[in-house]
Structure 1
Amino acid sequence: MNSHLGLAVAAMIACIVVFATAGDVLIASAMRQIGDLDKIKAQSGLWGAIKAVLTSVRFVGGVFCMALSFFSLLFALSHADVSLIGPASASLTFVTNAFAAKIFLKENVDRRRWLAAVFVCVGVALLTR
């Protein structure tokens, strides 16, 4: 793979990862902010629960980011092998989700998850060789 194509593939994978991570974090944050949908459904009915979700700016922003991630994936797959794009984007999203969950959602990411993230990074490095 020439260096120009390698940089382009790396940029495509980065777009997928950034948008997917942003979408995951925004949706998780929205659902924490909204609260228990079963309780909302019990109080306001099914349409009340649907309205609570669909009127959340964070939720809509998260869905938008996930859509951008999906279209970035389609674009990447039209330019590079799925055997590289699929595993690299999925595994790097796992790593960035761990960092984002720790930073933005204040989740407790334990040593085992960090170790798994290191192994994922090693696996991605092996894919690119």
Structure 2
Amino acid sequence: MIGSVVFWATAGDILTASAMRRIGDLDAVRARSGLVGAIRAVVTDLHFGVGVFCLALSFFSLLFALSHNDLSLIGPAATSLTFVSNAAAAKLFLKENVDRRRWMAAIFVCIGVALLAL
């Protein structure tokens, strides 16, 4: 259940970030096209729409997980593993620079979750 939350949250985050990079600076879009044009640019982007759909799936997966397990386990596990998977996906798909400090933070977060699960 946690894996489903993490997968859909990461997919949604990557897709929405990709959409916002393609759209560009929203202030510049708003200056050119007005507020309605900026809103239109966001909501008509396919990556943005699919990303929001993935985030909705993540939310409903979280609800399902919470109906079967304790929040004290599901919340930290899903959040921390999403942090780790977002870092890996950002490096792989968005070509972001994920430095050693972020990887170390991800490792420590995983250790913390493992301690909670015991």
The TM-score normalised by the length of structure 1 is 0.90
Paired position in structure 1 for 2:69: 80
- Tell me how far apart the structure 1 counterparts of residues 107 and 33 of structure 2 sit (CA, whole Å): 45
Q: Does 1:97 align with 2:50?
A: no
- Tell me how far apart the structure 2 counterparts of residues 128 and 44 of structure 1 sit (CA, whole Å): 51
Mind listing any 5+ residue stretches in structure 2 that lack a counterpart?
none
What SS does structure 2 have at the residue aligned with 1:80? Answer: coil
What SS does structure 1 have at the residue aligned with 2:32? Answer: helix
**Residues 38-82 of structure 1, C-alpha deviations (whole Å, 9 max, x = no match):** 111111111100010011000001000000000000011111000
Task: Specify which of 100, 123, 128 is matched with residue 112 of structure 2.
Answer: 123
Deviation (angstroms), 1:16: 0.3
Amino acid at match of 1:85: I
Amino acid at match of 2:39: I
Paired position in structure 1 for 2:43: 54
Amino acid at match of 2:95: K
Deviation (angstroms), 1:126: 1.4
- Tell me how far apart the structure 2 counterparts of residues 17 and 82 of structure 1 sit (CA, whole Å): 15
Paired position in structure 2 for 1:111: 100
Paired position in structure 2 for 1:26: 15
Amino acid at match of 1:114: W
Tell me which stretches of 4 or more aligned residues in structure 1 moved more than 2 Å: none
Mind listing any 5+ residue stretches in structure 1 that lack a counterpart?
1-11
- Tell me how far apart the structure 1 counterparts of residues 62 and 15 of structure 2 sit (CA, whole Å): 19
Amino acid at match of 1:25: I
Paired position in structure 2 for 1:3: none
Deviation (angstroms), 1:84: 0.3
